[in-house]
Amino acid sequence: MSDDQKDGAEKSPFLQKNIGHLKCEKVKDSPLQDNEDSDNTECGFWIFKGQILQRAATEKMYALLYGFAGLVIAMAYSYSNGTITTLEKRYKIPTKTTGIISVGNDISLCLASPFLGYYMGRGHRPHWMAFGLFTLVVFCLLTASPHFLYGAGDEALKLTKDFGLTNYTDVFLNSTQDDRSLCNDNEPDCVAEVSVWMPIILLFVAQLISGIGCSLFYTLGLTYMDDNTAKSKSPALLSWTSFIRMLGPAIGYSLASFCLRLYIAPDLEPVIKNTDARWLGAWWLGWLILAGFMLISTILIYMFPKELPAARANRLQLEQVNAKAGHHSSVEELTLKNMVKCVKRLAVNKVYVYNTLASVLYFFGYMPYWIFTPKYIETQYKQSASTATMVTGSGALAFSAAGILLSGFVISKYKPSARTMAAWNGISDYLTVAGLLCYVFIGCDGSDNMASLSAASSNCTAACHCDFVQYSPICGQDNVTYISPCHAGCTGQYKDENDRMVFSGCGCIADSNSSKEPQTQIGIDGACPVDCSKQFIAFVAVMCFLKFVGSFGRAGNLLLALRCVSTEDKTFSLGFGNTLLSLVSFIPSPIFFGWLLDSFCLVWGKTCSNKGNCWLYDTKSLRYTLNLTSAGLIFVGAFWNIGVWYYAKDLQIFDEESRKEIQEEIDEFELKETKNDMNT
């Protein structure tokens, strides 16, 4: 605060504190001259200008288009999450490596957010936001590029009629007895992968680029809305933009579900169904669609002016009021020294600090459910990739929408205090913990029992050399799914009268039933049917509850973050907060939980260069460890909301309550000035 501001605050502390929120209608003509160019309030660019576009320079239109752009971004990230398992299978990527790829955007966001928020916050924010969106166009195209560089892959092509097969059983019928899919004494060659690291590098670089775009869009976009909107309208507009953006995951997961139903090479005819675990969907197709939508968003956001006309008029009126009151504001110079001062101001802001700490632990604990939910559904409840992505996105849409809209209505109508909002944040965290504990007990016995076959089959088939055998499950007579005929110890194969592939002499199946001879034990091509429908429905019900609870407090938490800091620190506080969250939550959490998932893997798809992707997990141990770890982190983080509740007692969210008092103070000041002029 400058010396002039301090002097003004001593004369009128209440006025100085709240003058920035006042929209004064009394003053009709402003004697002040605006030195800014009129282009700062004009919509459009180049030849795309005019009165028609200028009519769109409103806070409601901005909220609509900002929400649409956020929707497309949310679509991109949810689509990425929905296609994770397909990428792991296609490029044989362990989950830990997938976690490292996914944090690429957080690394760049962490490095860029403070500087972009501080230096770009006073520039033409819509133009910088549009630049950020354009980098996301590059992100989409770069993510799809591995498919065009390396194709569908030999394993996917082998499962198509166009590759020379009429059905999948021909894979075995055309093979010799020493084929590595059956138990034999010869150790097979490892599975060679060409340029296995290059797709990983491309995907990681794409994520790095996206972090810069997201940092510019969210950091500048929220403050632009708050600075160009009446404070009384902020809750409603924030809720509506959150609601529009919330549709993004639903559409993104639905798009992923649609694309994954198509084969990775759509022009070829596969011989397996999309319910088969070996199915590879057209994961790359959605990225081309998303790039098109992202480009449209870029153009629309770029057309907005530096400042909305209505907001500019109100700002000039407030400057006149400040001038009459003797308050002369000064703009702090953008230097590294002043940025350090800004950091110090945030460090002593207890509401900001405690709210950030609570968010750090919450996001660390809840991160795996944003990234790995489709994978969790596939492994725990044996659902197809398309079903898992569809349910993740659209299954809880109605509950998320209800939470967003209801929170906006409640806040706008009843105008709860900052303490009430902080209290609800704490309650919602504990409700989230309760939901995660429910996940622990929602397991499927059919899925859990598959974990026991790995130890038995590994001992039984030690001489079969099954390490590099491709995943090709068979169902034994004991109603247990084996990873492949090799893992079941099978030595023969034939087609029965129903045209099914039957594997004979399966010694490992005989181990589970000692009354039968190994030669009489057989297995049928394909996994044994597992019914996890009831458990799956229960999981979806709890997920819908958590979606509602989490979305209901979204608008209130964002208002607390915007109101607990001064106007000049607002943009930087969001960028600095994103950096802290990235360093402590968004970057380490996916890597940690990716490692956690890998630690419960029982069967790896090994290649010559690495151990590849995981085909089978110890689902019971994974379910207990994952959910209890996440619940514990969120439980501890919820305690920091108590500090937010305590120190938010004097925090003002709305300006209507003080409007009358501020206006009376201004009127009193003007009356004194008039008397002084008359006496003079």
Q: What is the token pair recorded at 445?
A: 């016995």
Q: Could you tell me if 398 and 428 lie in one domain?
A: yes
What is d(CA 102, CA 593) in angstroms, rounded to the nearest whole number? Answer: 12
Rounded-to-integer distance, Cα 490 and Cα 486, Å: 6
pLDDT recorded at residue 615:
77
Q: Which of the two residues, 610 and 19, has the higher pLDDT score? A: 610
Same domain for 632 and 604? yes
Going from the C-alpha of 523 to that of each of 269, 397, 439, 504, the distances in angstroms are 27, 42, 34, 7
Contacts of 536 (CB under 8 A, 6+ apart): 377, 381, 383, 444
**Dist. CA 549–CA 546, nearest whole Å:** 5
* Choice among 10-24, 128-142, 215-229, 411-425 with the minimum mean pLDDT: 10-24
- Same structural domain for residues 257 and 237? yes
Q: Which of 507, 525, 543 is the last residue of a domain?
A: 525
Ranking 207-216, 244-253, 498-507, 519-528 by mean pLDDT, the lowest is 519-528
Q: Which residue stretches of 48-153 are H helix?
A: 51-54, 59-82, 84-91, 95-102, 104-119, 125-150
Supply the pLDDT for residue 169: 43
Asked if 54 and 39 count as a contact pair (C-beta separation under 8 A), the reply is: no
The 10 Å CB-count burial string (b at 16+, else e) for 69-105 is: bbbbbbbbbbbbbbbbbbbbbbbbbbbbbbbbbbbbb
Task: Report yes or no on whether pTM surpasses 0.95.
Answer: no
Residue 665 maps to a domain: no
Mean pLDDT of 423-452: 86
Residue 416 has pLDDT above 50, yes or no: yes
Alpha helices in 166-284 (DSSP H): 170-173, 197-227, 234-261
Helices marked H in 308-449: 309-325, 336-347, 350-371, 373-381, 385-390, 397-414, 418-441, 445-448
Q: Whole-angstrom Cα distance, residue 188 to residue 608? A: 11
Tell whether 370 and 486 lie within a shared domain.
no
Question: Is residue 292 within 8 Å of 208, Cβ to Cβ?
Answer: no
- 36 closest CA partner among 311, 222, 288: 311
| 600 within a domain of the structure (yes/no) | yes
Amino acid at 465: H
Q: What is the pLDDT of residue 313?
A: 64
Alpha carbon of residue 492 to chain centroid: 48
Range of the domain at 486: 448-525
First to last CA, the chain: 33
Count of domains for the chain? 2
Q: What is the CATH number of the domain that holds 556?
A: 1.20.1250.20
Note whether residue 46 is domain-resident.
Answer: no
Which residue type is seen at 224?
A: Y
Residue 519: DSSP 8-state: G
The confidence score (pLDDT) of residue 30 equals 40
| Residue where the block lists tokens 């084929």 | 179
- Looking at the domain assignment, is residue 178 inside a domain? no
Contact 326, 76 (CB under 8 A): no
Q: Is 43 contained in some domain?
A: no
Confidence at residue 34, expressed as pLDDT on a 0 to 100 scale:
44
Average pLDDT over residues 366-372: 86
Q: CA 593: distance to chain centroid?
A: 15
Contact 643, 350 (CB under 8 A): yes
Contact 97, 251 (CB under 8 A): no
Give 86's contacts (C-beta < 8 A, 6+ positions apart): 260, 264, 280, 281, 283, 385
Looking at per-residue pLDDT, the higher value among 472 and 666 belongs to 472
**260, 382: one domain:** yes
> Residue 495 is encoded by which pair of tokens?
């087609």
Report whether pLDDT(512) > 50. Answer: no
Residue 255: pLDDT band by 50, 70, 90 thresholds?
Answer: very high
Q: Are residues 540 and 406 in the same domain?
A: yes
Q: Quick check: helix, strand or coil at residue 603?
A: strand
More confident site: 520 or 584: 584
In this structure, are 383 and 432 located in the same domain? yes
pLDDT of 122 > 50? The answer is yes
Same domain, 226 and 300: yes
Give the type of residue at 620: K
More confident residue, 122 or 403: 403
Higher pLDDT, 604 or 195: 604
3-state secondary structure of 404: helix
Backbone angles phi, psi at 614, to 5 degrees: -95, 135
**Cα dihedral 527, 532, 536, 538 in deg (nearest 10):** -170
Distance CA 269, CA 481 (A): 26
The encoded tokens of residue 367 equal 């991160």
In b/e form, how buried is each residue of 552-591, taking b as 16+ CB within 10 angstroms? bbbbbbbbbbbbbbeebbbbbbbbbbbbbbbebbbbbbbb
Give the residue among 21, 51, 467, 515 at the shortest CA–CA distance from 234: 21
> pLDDT band at residue 297, thresholds of 50, 70 and 90?
very high
> Is residue 542 over pLDDT 60?
yes
| Percent of the chain clearing pLDDT 70 (strictly above) | 74
Burial class (CB in 10 A: 0-12, 13-18, 19+), 8: buried
Lowest mean pLDDT among 28-37, 87-96, 111-120: 28-37
pLDDT of residue 9: 39
DSSP letter for 152, please. Answer: S
- Domain boundary pick from 525, 557, 588: 525
Res 301: pLDDT = 92
What is the pLDDT, as a whole number, of residue 609?
A: 61
pLDDT band at 296 (very low <50, low <70, confident <90, very high): very high
pLDDT(175) > 60:
no
Higher pLDDT: 377 or 577? It is 377
Q: Which long-range contacts (CB under 8 A, 24 or more apart) does 60-65 make?
A: 60/237, 62/224, 62/225, 62/228, 62/304, 62/308, 63/225, 63/229, 63/237, 63/240, 63/241, 64/240, 64/244, 65/297, 65/300, 65/301, 65/304
The tens digit of pLDDT for each residue in 298-330 reads 999 998 888 877 666 666 665 555 555 555 555
Q: Which tokens sit at 611?
A: 């151990």
CA distance 4 to 528: 78
pLDDT average, residue stretch 427-437 = 92
Nearest CA to 83 out of 72, 66, 98 is that of 98
Q: Are residues 458 and 544 in the same domain?
A: no
- Whether 141 maps to a domain, the answer reads yes
Cβ 447 vs Cβ 380: under 8 Å: yes
Domain end position, chosen among 525, 544, 574: 525
Q: 557, 425 in Cβ contact below 8 A?
A: yes
Rounded CA separation 241/74 (Å): 12
- According to DSSP, the residues that pair with 617 across neighbouring strands are 601
Reported as a pLDDT band with limits 50, 70 and 90, residue 144 is very high
Residues 6+ apart with CB under 8 A from 167: 271
Q: 121 and 62, same structural domain?
A: yes
Q: How does pLDDT run across 633-648, given as a tens digit for each residue?
A: 999 988 998 988 998 8
Residue 109 lies inside a defined structural domain of this protein? yes
Supply the pLDDT for residue 23. 35
Tokens representing residue 601 in the block? 């893997």
Burial, 381: exposed, middle or buried (Cβ in 10 Å; 0-12, 13-18, 19+)? buried
Q: Is 340 a member of any domain?
A: no
Alpha-carbon distance values, 22 to 60, 125, 332, 515, 612 (Å) = 20, 23, 22, 87, 61
Query: What confidence score (pLDDT) does residue 133 get?
Result: 94
Percent of the chain with pLDDT over 90: 17
Confidence at 81, pLDDT banded by 50, 70, 90: confident
Shared-domain flag, residues 515 and 537: no
- pLDDT at residue 442, as a whole number: 93
**The pLDDT value given to residue 364:** 93
Whether the pLDDT of residue 193 is over 60: the answer is: no
| pLDDT tens profile 586-618 | 889 988 998 998 888 887 776 666 667 787 888
Nearest CA to 55 among 37, 39, 43?
43
* 394 and 267 housed in the same domain: yes
Please tell me which of 178-187, 229-238, 619-628 the model is most confident about, judged by mean pLDDT.
619-628
Interval 458-511: pLDDT, tens: 567 777 777 667 777 888 877 777 878 887 888 888 887 777 788 888 877 755
Check residue 206 and give its pLDDT: 94
Confidence of residue 166 (pLDDT cuts 50, 70, 90): very low
The per-residue pLDDT of the chain, averaged, comes to 77
